[in-house]
Amino acid sequence: MSDILNQIALCVEAGKINKSSPYPPNMKDQDGADELARKALEQGFKPDEILEKALIPAMANVGNKFSRKEIYVPQMLMSAKAMSGAMIHLKPFFQSGETKRKGTFIIGTVTGDLHDIGKNLVAMMVEGGGWEVIDLGVDVSSEKFLKALGEKPDAVIGLSALLTTTMENMKKIVTDIKSRSASSKILVGGAPVTQDYCNKIGADFYSPDPQGAVNYLSQLVS
């Protein structure tokens, strides 16, 4: 792989956002994912090449390390921020349709639930996995999910819940979506959610962590 793509991947894995960011201390004053992605485009690398060869593999490594508990939430957040720093330069190409994404993922935290840290991590990792992400935020009702799905009928839906009380609302949202659009795929997660619960409410897939979500989505389009 080219040197600059390697450097971008390294910055994402290390969480080096841009030149002025102090983290990680051993990369102080070096270019970060932000500057390097801009330079790669100037050198003629295609946006999808930067995404496929640098950002996606780097974020997959980060996700797998997090699943294996070799890194923790703060490191993963720094990596996701570094990825976003690079994505700023790539997004205009994806938004114009010049470069294609793998699909659309609509995510939200279910009705009554305001927890968004885990949901945001999943959203960032999925974006790093090459998907367009529509983040509906927190306290999202069936109606909001269905409206977003109406605009993107092929999208995969992701539901996050952190409270045992709001898990009931997750069940309602799955039922509402499936009754209107039986073929839509629904992925569920969040601390109290389990594989058993996923099966019970008729969702399609449960993942305990962001990388599992990315792997499931990849498998849907492979």
Dihedral angle at the C-alpha atoms of 124, 128, 133, 137, nearest 10 degrees?
0
**Which residue type sits at 142?**
S
Provide, rounded to whole angstroms, the least separation between the CB of residue 167 and ligand B1M: 8
Give me the residue whose beta carbon is nearest to ligand B1M: 118
Cα–Cα distances in Å, from 8 out to 3, 15, 138, 158, 217?
9, 10, 32, 28, 24
Q: Which of 209, 214, 215, 217 binds ligand B1M (CB under 6 A)?
A: 209
- Whether residue 187 contacts residue 207, with contact meaning beta carbons closer than 8 Å, is answered with yes
Minimal distance, residue 209 CB to ligand B1M, in Å: 4
Considering the rule CB under 6 A, would residue 1 count as an interface residue with ligand B1M? no
Asked whether position 207 contacts ligand B1M by CB under 6 A, the answer is yes
Amino acid at 77: L
Nearest Cα to Cα of residue 193 among 158, 156, 162, 157: 162
The nearer residue to ligand B1M, 50 or 122, going by C-beta atoms, is 122
How far apart CA 105 and CA 125 sit, in angstroms, is: 11
In contact, 117 and 201? CB cutoff 8 Å: no
Number of residues lying near ligand B1M (CB under 6 A) = 28
Q: Which is nearer to ligand B1M, 17 or 159 (CB)?
A: 159
The answer to whether the beta carbons of residues 71 and 65 sit under 8 Å apart is: yes
In angstroms, give the least distance from the CB of 146 to ligand B1M. Answer: 17
> CA 76 to CA 54: how far, in whole Å?
16
Site mask, ligand B1M, residues 79-108, x = CB under 6 A? ----------------------------x-
By CB under 6 A, name the one of 16, 53, 119, 171 that touches ligand B1M: 119
Tell me how far, at minimum, the Cβ of 211 lies from ligand B1M, in Å: 9
The answer to whether 127 contacts ligand B1M (rule: CB under 6 A) is: no
For residues 7 and 211, which CB has a smaller minimum distance to ligand B1M in the complex?
Answer: 211
Among 98, 114, 199, 200, binds ligand B1M (CB under 6 A): 114
Angle at 165 between CA 163 and CA 166, to 5 degrees: 70
Residues near ligand B1M (CB under 6 A) are: 73, 107, 112-119, 121-122, 158-160, 162-164, 187-192, 207, 209-210, 213
